[in-house]
Structure 1
Amino acid sequence: MNHLVFDTSTEVMSVAVRHGERVRAWRGAGGAQASDRLIPCVLELLDELGLRLADLDVIAFGQGPGAFTGLRGACAVAQGLAFGAGKPVLPIGSLLAVAEAARQQTGATQVLAVLDARMNEVYSAVYEYQPSETPGTAGTWQEVSPVRVGPAGALAWPVNAAVSDWTVVGNAFAGYADQMPAPVQAAARVTAVPDAECMLALIPGLLAQGLAVPADQAMPVYVRDKVADTTAERAALAAAKLARA
């Protein structure tokens, strides 16, 4: 079981490699630095474990939603490495990744994942974890509510779900917590961004579902076409914040 996974969808870049039971991981600044650092970091971790790209079973990457440049860069690197090594690619959603982070940190199995989408919006999705009935095999996450983008005030639980049963996870609390509906604010909370080492745990289940694709079919997920505010929109938002202050 030789797996490589990396994520550059947020301000944090992370890379992890599994070789059997051995794991090597790296985390650091993302953003503009990710494009220069990603491939050298991948090669360093592979070397630490005595692996070559040809030894990998799959190359996984964080497909988003998230930062446009980071997603595009991660997908391009995954495709390039996979083409050269003749390996499949496994895209992993950013919101699914933070749901798994919540499970690993707290044991949460019912999760509302919420990530900062900028432009006064958040990405969100709802997941439930289903343990495997076969001992020794990975469980799977089921998507209860699909990935969406919108105002933090529009976040909602699944119908008839008790707040006490659910956990909210992500990185949107600092900027948007006071805008979230009262039930969301009252729920248990885990702060997390997509992390490659956590994402390693998702790979066996996603492979079992047949979600790996040929390199040329790997694509990022943007959710929305508009990826930045205009200058005028940014000025209007700044003025509105000053007015509220």
Structure 2
Amino acid sequence: MTTKILAIDTATENCSVALLHGDKIYARSEVAPRDHTKKVLPMVDEVLKEAGLALADLDALAFGRGPGSFTGVRIGIGIAQGLGFGADLPMIGVSTLKAMAQGTYRKHGQQNVACAIDARMSEVYWGRFVRDENGDWSETEPECVIPPQDLSQLLTPSSASWISAGTGWQAYKEQLAELDLEISPGEVLYPEAQDMAFLAQFEWQKGNTVSAEEASPVYLRDKVAWKKLPGRE
């Protein structure tokens, strides 16, 4: 029996939807910072039609749980919950940072990925991942939100070569260049739903799902819920 997982992500400037059906992937993606609410449901309809499936045919619904824009994470989870409630689907939250690691492997074949998303407020959302033999990823240190100049105090020493992913590397180029890591530049700037769908398979196989009402975000910086400045989402 093939696994059928729909994934939705609006946690960053990128809006993406993907449907994994066995070894086939049907995906839509567009960088549209202000139009997530307009784009995401038509994308869902498109991938379902392309695959010849209805929501009720799916096994699970994956969503980008963050970290990312407070508004973007909230939009994605809200839409995913609505679909999950309607079709009575179990849900799987996937880290946006881990999804970028998987996207980097998909594009470059690299298995050590250092991810940094521009979190505004002079901080980055940080996560460093190593690919496991089964295709899943392990964290080198816990995901966090941190001023880039403070990262050196957090890092686990490593002699491995790493590839970068995320918008933080350009936003804080000078500060991150000071890290004691061998880093080569990568092409991945944003998470993609197709990588979330792939990663969600591992959680599905382990039974790590929640109901739609239990689906919850990971903001890392909870204070953005009340300290939201103009232009700083």
What letter is aligned with 2:113?
V
Show structure 1 runs of 5+ residues with no match: 133-138, 235-245
Match of 1:222 among 206, 215, 219: 219
In the TM superposition, residue 191 of structure 1 has moved relative to its aligned partner by 3.3
Distance, in Å, in 1 between the alignment partners of 2:33 and 2:136 is 30
Gap change, CA 1:126 and 1:208, over 3 Å in 2: same
Alignment of 1:189 with 2:185, yes or no, is: yes
Distance, in Å, in 2 between the alignment partners of 1:116 and 1:211 is 29
TM-score by length of 2: 0.88
C-alpha RMSD over aligned residues: 2.0
The answer to which of 50-59 and 102-111 deviates more is: 102-111
Count matched residues: 225
What letter is aligned with 1:224?
R
Distance, in Å, in 2 between the alignment partners of 1:17 and 1:184 is 39
1:155, 1:184 within 8 Å by CA — same for their partners in 2?
Answer: no
The answer to which of 120-129 and 206-215 deviates more is: 206-215
2:44 is aligned to 42
1:170 is aligned to 166
Q: Which whole-Å deviations, capped at 9, do the CAs of 1:129-150 have from their partners, x for residues lacking one?
A: 1112xxxxxx221122111111
Distance, in Å, in 1 between the alignment partners of 2:206 and 2:141 is 19
1:13, 1:28 within 8 Å by CA — same for their partners in 2?
Answer: yes
By relative contact order (CA 8 Å, sep 6+), the higher-ranking structure is 2
What letter is aligned with 2:193?
A
Gap change, CA 1:66 and 1:86, over 3 Å in 2: same
Instruction: Report the 3-state secondary structure (helix = DSSP H, G, I; strand = E; otherwise coil) of the residue aligned with 1:187.
Output: strand
TM-score by length of 1: 0.84
Matches within 5 A, 1:234-245: none
Alignment of 1:125 with 2:127, yes or no, is: yes
The answer to which of 28-37 and 90-99 deviates more is: 28-37
Extract structure 1 runs of 4+ deviating beyond 6 A.
none
Distance, in Å, in 2 between the alignment partners of 1:221 and 1:103 is 23
2:140, 2:156 within 8 Å by CA — same for their partners in 1?
Answer: no
Distance, in Å, in 2 between the alignment partners of 1:173 and 1:161 is 19
Instruction: Report the 3-state secondary structure (helix = DSSP H, G, I; strand = E; otherwise coil) of the residue aligned with 2:25.
Output: strand
The answer to which of 164-173 and 46-55 deviates more is: 164-173
2:97 is aligned to 95
In the TM superposition, residue 182 of structure 1 has moved relative to its aligned partner by 2.5
Identical-residue share of aligned pairs (%): 36
Gap change, CA 1:51 and 1:104, over 3 Å in 2: same
What letter is aligned with 1:150?
I
1:58, 1:88 within 8 Å by CA — same for their partners in 2?
Answer: yes
The answer to which of 23-32 and 187-196 deviates more is: 23-32
1:198 is aligned to 195
Higher helix share: 1
1:10 is aligned to 12
